[in-house]
């Protein structure tokens, strides 16, 4: 008989808390719906006591997604557990997740507690959580570096107090597969009441071993795995959802387990996350990287043409990646168009598709082929568009080896047109400084990246920025063959969205 592996997704908690990946509430809601479609079993929506914004986001997710368990993280304090419960109590299936560190190094330096105190605190927290729900997960932070027998003692106490899942994290990504297998087997057999709970693992990727450790732990008896889309997470990230799921799927010949994941939603989920955060997936990332199914070498191409299985162990379609990705053109119908948008992670209404399809046809009349990036520009312009508070009228930049980079900018600010100039350490810096001076923005630039939409030196440059002001965050995007102009457009787009967020019911609109 094959065993089910519970997929606990922590993209919106452990993933989101890592630098560069923070999302606003609307973005989190959008991603949560996609994770529901992906059919994760548990969706960890956040850490409600960490901020008001996080609390609200978790609450909104708990109200929105109904076909998935929604978990919220809490330290072992009553305040944290109250906040977590407050945020998820309306979920269809809420789960409280409480944790405390168990390794000696954490006890001595971070918690300043002895082992007895940690056991008592864990028991108190689980018992306190139990008044709210029976669905309680307890995590032993830094479990992989904890004394084995102490770990078993803490788990036994937590299960006796009511924990239904006990999670063993490799918090610092230190474990290696053989050792982790051994640890899981030990904990499984030396925790007397382990039969009453699900054993879970949560690996980090500091040594690039998170997926290997997770698979090893499944073989050793773990039945829940904690993962993130695109492997995002603290430092080197968490275990990749797509890698574990596709390893189980592809190697069912030797890994006798299954998940409920709809594998066709893997690529749309990965793509949506990259779009929302503005951080692209590394091209050679397993499963979802741009090169994961690309065969460049002649000998490989030859083999694949003769029989795909010579060099391809998975069908791209299994993860929802259409192989005919470049064929949209003026003869493409509405159905193919809609399907392509779905693969890119956009679940749009018929009205929105109608608007986009019209623009798509206009574009396709001018160009032979429409690539995904063109569709994304259309979505940004037509669907995610906000009223322009600022509009770029003119930009002139002087830079080079013998000039102080200078930008002259003309902006439309409402009904007024203003012009100003400023300096910077480079042309982008000069442009941004000038725009910031003219708009008086207090926003912080959290992320800036430049990409090219097509190949060659005549390619369209694409700039993505992420801005933050007073706890509100938004993305800005700009495309232009001139990358400085693309940067100015992205910055102004981000400022327009921030202005819109400030003046609106910010949590309802997808920005």
Beta bridge partners of 94: 70
Rounded Cα gap, residues 289 and 270, in angstroms: 9
Minimum CB distance to ligand KIV smaller for 171 or for 217 = 171
Q: 3-class SS at 451?
A: strand
Rounded Cα gap, residues 116 and 325, in angstroms: 59
Rounded Cα gap, residues 376 and 24, in angstroms: 20
Site string for Zn ion, 215-234 (x = CB under 5 A): --------------------
Minimum CB distance to ligand KIV smaller for 212 or for 321 = 212
In whole angstroms, how close is the CB of 139 to ligand KIV at the nearest point? Answer: 4
Rounded Cα gap, residues 345 and 27, in angstroms: 12
Minimum CB distance to Zn ion smaller for 18 or for 408 = 18
In whole angstroms, how close is the CB of 75 to ligand KIV at the nearest point? Answer: 9
User: From Zn ion, ligand KIV, none, which one binds at residue 141 (CB under 5 to 8 Å depending on kind)?
Assistant: ligand KIV
Minimum CB distance to Zn ion smaller for 139 or for 434 = 139
Sheet with 472-480, side-by-side order of all strands: 444-452, 461-469, 472-480
Minimum CB distance to Zn ion smaller for 175 or for 485 = 175
In whole angstroms, how close is the CB of 139 to Zn ion at the nearest point? Answer: 9
In whole angstroms, how close is the CB of 226 to Zn ion at the nearest point? Answer: 7
- What b/e readout covers 301-321, taking b as 16+ CB neighbours within 10 angstroms? eebeeeeeeeeeeeebeebbb
DSSP 247-263: HHHHTTTT--EE----G
Sheet with 406-413, side-by-side order of all strands: 390-398, 406-413, 416-423
Polymer length of the chain: 511
In whole angstroms, how close is the CB of 481 to Zn ion at the nearest point? Answer: 42
User: At residue 272, what are phi and psi to the nearest 5 degrees?
Assistant: -60, -45
In whole angstroms, how close is the CB of 234 to ligand KIV at the nearest point? Answer: 7
User: From Zn ion, ligand KIV, none, which one binds at residue 265 (CB under 5 to 8 Å depending on kind)?
Assistant: none
Give the CA angle between residues 287, 474, 57 to the nearest 5°: 80
Minimum CB distance to ligand KIV smaller for 164 or for 496 = 164
In whole angstroms, how close is the CB of 204 to ligand KIV at the nearest point? Answer: 6
Minimum CB distance to Zn ion smaller for 14 or for 265 = 14
14 binds Zn ion (CB under 5 A): yes
Applying CB under 5 A, the span of 14-22, 89-97, 112-120, 267-275 interacting with Zn ion comes to: 14-22
Contact 239, 228 (CB under 8 A): yes
In whole angstroms, how close is the CB of 248 to ligand KIV at the nearest point? Answer: 22
User: From Zn ion, ligand KIV, none, which one binds at residue 468 (CB under 5 to 8 Å depending on kind)?
Assistant: none
- Which residues would be at the binding site for ligand KIV (CB under 6 A)? 14, 99, 139, 141, 167, 169, 171, 202, 204
Rounded Cα gap, residues 113 and 342, in angstroms: 51
Rounded Cα gap, residues 142 and 104, in angstroms: 9
Burial class of residue 342 (count of CB atoms within 10 Å of its CB; 0-12, 13-18, 19+): middle
Q: Are strands 461-469 and 472-480 parallel, antiparallel or unpaired?
A: antiparallel
Minimum CB distance to Zn ion smaller for 205 or for 443 = 205
How many Cβ atoms sit within 10 Å of the Cβ of residue 489?
22
In whole angstroms, how close is the CB of 73 to ligand KIV at the nearest point? Answer: 6
Contact 463, 489 (CB under 8 A): yes
Rounded Cα gap, residues 283 and 247, in angstroms: 19
User: From ligand KIV, Zn ion, none, which one binds at residue 99 (CB under 5 to 8 Å depending on kind)?
Assistant: ligand KIV
DSSP 208-240: S-HHHHHHHHHHHT--EEEEBGGG--STT-B-B
Minimum CB distance to Zn ion smaller for 239 or for 464 = 239
User: From ligand KIV, Zn ion, none, which one binds at residue 243 (CB under 5 to 8 Å depending on kind)?
Assistant: none
In whole angstroms, how close is the CB of 467 to ligand KIV at the nearest point? Answer: 28
Applying CB under 5 A, the span of 6-14, 339-347, 355-363, 455-463 interacting with Zn ion comes to: 6-14
The candidate with the shortest Cα–Cα distance to 214, out of 187, 252, 248, is 248
Minimum CB distance to ligand KIV smaller for 73 or for 321 = 73
Minimum CB distance to ligand KIV smaller for 231 or for 399 = 231
In whole angstroms, how close is the CB of 271 to Zn ion at the nearest point? Answer: 24
Residues binding Zn ion (CB under 5 A): 14
């Amino acid at each position: 008989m094959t065993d089910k592996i519970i997929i606990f997704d922590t993209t919106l908690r452990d993933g989101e808390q890592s630098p560069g990946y923070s999302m606003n509430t609307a973005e989190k809601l959008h991603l949560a719906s996609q994770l529901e479609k992906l059919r994760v079993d548990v969706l960890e929506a956040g850490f409600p006591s960490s901020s008001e914004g996080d609390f609200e986001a978790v609450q909104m997710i708990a109200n929105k997604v109904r076909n998935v368990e929604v978990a919220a993280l809490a330290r072992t304090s009553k305040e944290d557990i109250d906040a977590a419960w407050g945020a998820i109590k309306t979920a269809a299936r809420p789960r409280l997740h409480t944790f405390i560190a168990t390794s000696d190094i954490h006890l001595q330096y971070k918690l300043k507690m002895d082992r007895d105190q940690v056991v008592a605190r864990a028991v108190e927290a689980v018992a306190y959580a139990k008044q709210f729900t029976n669905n309680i997960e307890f995590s032993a932070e830094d479990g992989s570096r904890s004394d084995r027998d102490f770990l078993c003692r803490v788990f036994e106490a937590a299960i006796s107090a009511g924990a239904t899942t006990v999670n063993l994290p490799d918090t610092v990504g230190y474990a290696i597969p053989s050792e982790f297998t051994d640890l899981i087997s030990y904990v499984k057999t030396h925790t007397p009441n382990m039969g009453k709970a699900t054993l879970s693992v949560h690996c980090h990727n500091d040594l690039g071993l998170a997926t290997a450790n997770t698979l090893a732990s499944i073989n050793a008896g773990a039945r829940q795995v904690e993962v993130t889309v695109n492997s995002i997470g603290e430092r080197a990230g968490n275990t990749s959802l797509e890698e574990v799921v596709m390893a189980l799927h592809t190697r069912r010949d030797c890994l006798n387990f299954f998940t409920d994941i709809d594998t066709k939603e893997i690529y749309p989920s990965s793509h949506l996350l990259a779009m929302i955060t503005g951080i692209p997936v590394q091209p050679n990332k397993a499963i979802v990287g741009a090169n994961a199914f690309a065969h460049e070498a002649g000998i490989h191409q030859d083999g694949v043409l003769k029989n795909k299985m010579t060099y391809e162990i998975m069908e791209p379609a299994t993860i929802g990646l259409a192989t005919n990705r470049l064929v949209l053109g003026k003869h493409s119908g509405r159905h193919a168009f809609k399907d392509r948008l779905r693969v890119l992670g956009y679940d749009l209404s018929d009205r929105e598709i109608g608007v986009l399809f019209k623009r798509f046809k206009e574009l396709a009349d001018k160009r032979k082929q429409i690539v995904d990036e063109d569709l994304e520009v259309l979505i940004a312009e037509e669907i995610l568009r906000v009223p322009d508070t600022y509009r770029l009228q003119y930009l002139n930049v002087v830079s080079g080896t013998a000039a102080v980079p200078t930008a002259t900018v003309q902006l439309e600010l409402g009904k007024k047109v203003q012009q100003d100039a400023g300096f910077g350490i480079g042309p982008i810096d000069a442009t941004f400084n000038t725009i910031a001076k003219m708009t008086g923005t207090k926003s912080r630039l959290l992320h800036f990246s430049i990409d090219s939409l097509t190949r060659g030196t005549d390619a369209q440059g694409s700039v993505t920025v992420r801005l933050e002001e007073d706890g509100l965050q938004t993305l800005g995007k700009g495309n232009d063959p001139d990358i400085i102009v693309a940067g100015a457009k992205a910055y102004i787009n981000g400022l327009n969205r921030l202005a819109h967020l400030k003046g609106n019911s910010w949590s309802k609109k997808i920005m």
